[in-house]
């Protein structure tokens, strides 16, 4: 039998049904993988070995009951509430906090049969692009440990890339699922704003935040998304429809769809290897008779500035609740005011403080109109431009990140350089559009490069079909992870 950690979600279902492996054996195989790789990768803030094994035994007693994620080991970003299990957001200010409830997505994963194997590392409160802003540890890129896994959901991306979980959840406010997916060579999906309930996600910027899955391939990603998506009474911003079918029509790929690409991609600074794979993808699509239009992509000039005003403004307000009274850390002092100040001074890291200051500034009287109100206007413009564009095309294709993974430490001293790397991901957040990163190629240094697709509002089914089309074209896993033989075997019979 093949290595148990190599099975896809449907593949696992098949071997469970055929009684070729128990859930306990599979969970144990993932725990072994964690034992082997985690000491160097440090993707997890907490491994829930005992809980996961106990859950596995429970599932084994009943046997496969047809649930879509039966016996699938998943990892959860540590800004998602897990009942009775510490949830830190990688911040000292939440150290020791145990939520009294599960986030909706956690509840839905559990009821789909998934086994939660651990909580993963992130940039503190999901603010960052490298996982280096965690108060507890730095996560390393499984492809080369001297490099960052990306962020903020770097732990979730690295866990899947290093076979320490079959799938995982992250959150994406300005790119935090897609960028680490790209840097770690896995698939990462952010749905339409409102597609997935944010109940139980610790809020960063509520008008932008969305939860979504990481997986090794598009089909697994679709299956996890189907399990977590859909209306939730506890999040009034959720779209009032059930989760769409995403995995059923994947094979159709780009059939009948038009793709838009940037007419002036050369204008933007990026690594030559990223530029090359973007150009090659366009040629290959055209070669496959997919109609490709060169257009001006909305938000390329304005999205970073807009994003860092809106996100920080909302963060400054959302993070006001950490006052030492209600959650986690409390610093000692004789006066109440000083207790607030000390708790926040000691509990938050530098990047979080920077964002709170910037956010408070753009909301302050006298500056509100110049920054926050202006950013809202630009947001409306970007949304209108996307709407116009999606009247003429079905998908937009562009790189996920302007560079492959960068070295740990390299961008730490330069927040602006770190922020600028969000250029290709932030437009989809601002417009609330679904977007996905698919691993495409390796750079000459052997680091993964992902390409991104964006679809119109509510069009996740089209997005996933296009993603499947790209996956079939790139054959990334077959070439770079499993080897050509294993690749054919894995996909055989599908």
Residues engaged in binding ligand GLN (CB under 6 A): 126-129, 152, 172-176, 204, 311, 422
Nearer to ligand GLN, 47 or 309 (CB): 309
Q: Which helix (H) or strand (E) holds 157?
A: helix 154-161
Catalytic-labelled residue, pool 176, 316, 401, 437? 176
CB of 40 to ligand GLN, least distance (A): 24
The minimum distance between CB 235 and ligand GLN, in angstroms, equals 18
Q: Which two tokens stand for residue 419?
A: 């922020």
User: Which single residue is written with the structure tokens 């979730």?
Assistant: 156
Position of minimal CB gap to ligand GLN: 176
What is the β-pairing status of strands 395-399 and 448-455?
A: antiparallel
Q: Are 398 and 264 in contact (CB under 8 A)?
A: no
Nearest approach in angstroms of CB 133 to ligand GLN is: 8
Taking a C-beta distance cutoff of 8 angstroms, is the pair 331, 343 a contact? yes
Q: Pick between residue 435 and residue 481 the one whose CB is nearest to ligand GLN.
A: 435
| Separation between Cα atoms, residue 68 and residue 23, nearest integer Å | 14
Q: Is 176 marked active-site?
A: yes
Nearer to ligand GLN, 201 or 215 (CB): 201
User: Would you give the distance in Å from CA 43 to the centre of its chain?
Assistant: 14
Nearer to ligand GLN, 238 or 401 (CB): 401
Query: Is 466 within 8 Å of 259 (Cβ atoms)?
Result: yes
Q: Give the burial class of 45: count Cβ atoms within 10 A of its Cβ; 0-12 exposed, 13-18 middle, 19 or more buried.
A: buried
CB 462 within 8 A of CB 455: yes
Which CB atom, from 154 or from 230, has the smaller least distance to ligand GLN?
A: 154
What one-character-per-residue DSSP string does 192-236 give?
A: STTSB--TTBPPS-TTT-EEEEEESSHHHHHHHHHHHBS--TT-T
Rounded to whole angstroms, the Cα distance separating 347 from 324 reads 9
Spatial CA neighbour of 153 closest among 128, 118, 190: 128
Q: Does residue 33 carry a catalytic annotation?
A: no
Q: Which is nearer to ligand GLN, 176 or 281 (CB)?
A: 176
Residue of 42, 55, 77, 379 marked active site: 77
The span from the CA of 235 to the CA of 197, in Å, is 6
Report in angstroms how near the CB of residue 238 gets to ligand GLN at its nearest: 19
Task: Say how many residues make up the chain.
Answer: 494
Q: Catalytic: 62?
A: no
Q: Smaller CB distance to ligand GLN: residue 419 or 476?
A: 419
3-state secondary structure 247-305: CCCHHHCCCCCCEEEECCHHHCCCCHHHHHHHHHHHHHHHHCCCCEEEECCCCCCCHHH
Distance of closest approach, residue 303 Cβ to ligand GLN, in angstroms: 11
Catalytic residue, from 152, 171, 182, 262: name it. 152
Enumerate the active-site residues: 77, 152, 176
């Amino acid at each position: 039998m093949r290595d148990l950690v190599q099975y896809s979600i449907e593949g696992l279902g098949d071997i469970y049904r055929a009684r070729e492996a128990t859930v306990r054996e599979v969970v144990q195989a993932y725990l072994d993988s964690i034992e082997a790789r985690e000491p160097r990768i440090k993707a997890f803030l907490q491994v829930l070995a005992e809980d996961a094994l106990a859950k596995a035994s429970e599932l084994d007693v009943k046997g496969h009951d047809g649930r879509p994620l039966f016996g699938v080991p998943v990892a959860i970003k540590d800004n998602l509430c897990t009942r009775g299990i510490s949830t830190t957001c990688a911040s000292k200010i939440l150290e020791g906090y145990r939520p009294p409830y599960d986030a909706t997505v956690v509840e839905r994963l559990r009821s789909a049969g998934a086994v939660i194997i651990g909580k993963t590392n992130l940039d503190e409160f999901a603010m960052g692009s490298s996982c280096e802003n965690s108060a507890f540890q730095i996560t390393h890129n499984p492809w080369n440990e001297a490099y960052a896994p990306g962020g903020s959901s770097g732990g979730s991306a690295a866990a899947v890339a290093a076979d320490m979980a079959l799938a995982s959840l992250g959150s994406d406010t300005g790119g935090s699922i897609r960028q680490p997916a790209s840097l770690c060579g896995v698939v990462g999906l952010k749905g339409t704003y409102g597609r997935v309930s944010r109940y139980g996600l610790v809020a960063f910027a509520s008008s932008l935040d969305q939860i979504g899955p990481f997986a090794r391939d598009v089909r697994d990603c679709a299956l996890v998304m189907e399990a977590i998506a859909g209306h939730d009474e506890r999040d009034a911003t959720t779209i009032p429809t059930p989760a769409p079918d995403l995995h059923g029509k994947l094979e159709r790929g780009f059939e009948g769809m038009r793709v838009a690409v940037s007419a002036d991609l050369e204008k933007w600074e990026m690594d030559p290897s990223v530029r090359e794979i973007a150009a090659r993808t366009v040629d290959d699509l055209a070669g496959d008779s997919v109609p490709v239009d060169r257009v001006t992509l909305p938000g390329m000039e304005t999205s970073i500035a807009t994003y860092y005003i809106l996100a920080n403004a909302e963060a400054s307000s959302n993070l006001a609740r950490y006052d030492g009274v209600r959650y986690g850390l409390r610093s000692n002092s004789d006066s109440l005011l000083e207790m607030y100040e000390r708790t926040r001074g000691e509990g938050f890291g530098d990047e979080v403080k920077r964002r709170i200051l910037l956010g408070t500034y753009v909301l302050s009287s006298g500056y509100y109109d110049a920054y926050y109100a202006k950013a809202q206007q630009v947001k409306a413009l970007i949304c209108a431009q996307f709407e116009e564009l999606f009247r003429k095309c079905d998908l937009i294709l562009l790189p996920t990140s302007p560079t492959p993974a960068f070295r740990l430490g390299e961008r730490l001293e330069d927040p602006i350089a770190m922020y600028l790397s969000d250029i290709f991901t932030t437009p989809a957040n601002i417009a609330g559009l679904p977007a996905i990163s698919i691993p495409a190629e390796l750079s000459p240094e052997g680091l993964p490069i992902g390409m991104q697709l964006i679809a119109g509002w509510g069009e996740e089914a089209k997005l996933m079909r296009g993603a499947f089309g790209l996956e079939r074209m790139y054959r990334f896993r077959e070439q770079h992870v499993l080897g050509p033989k294993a690749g054919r075997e894995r996909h055989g019979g599908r």
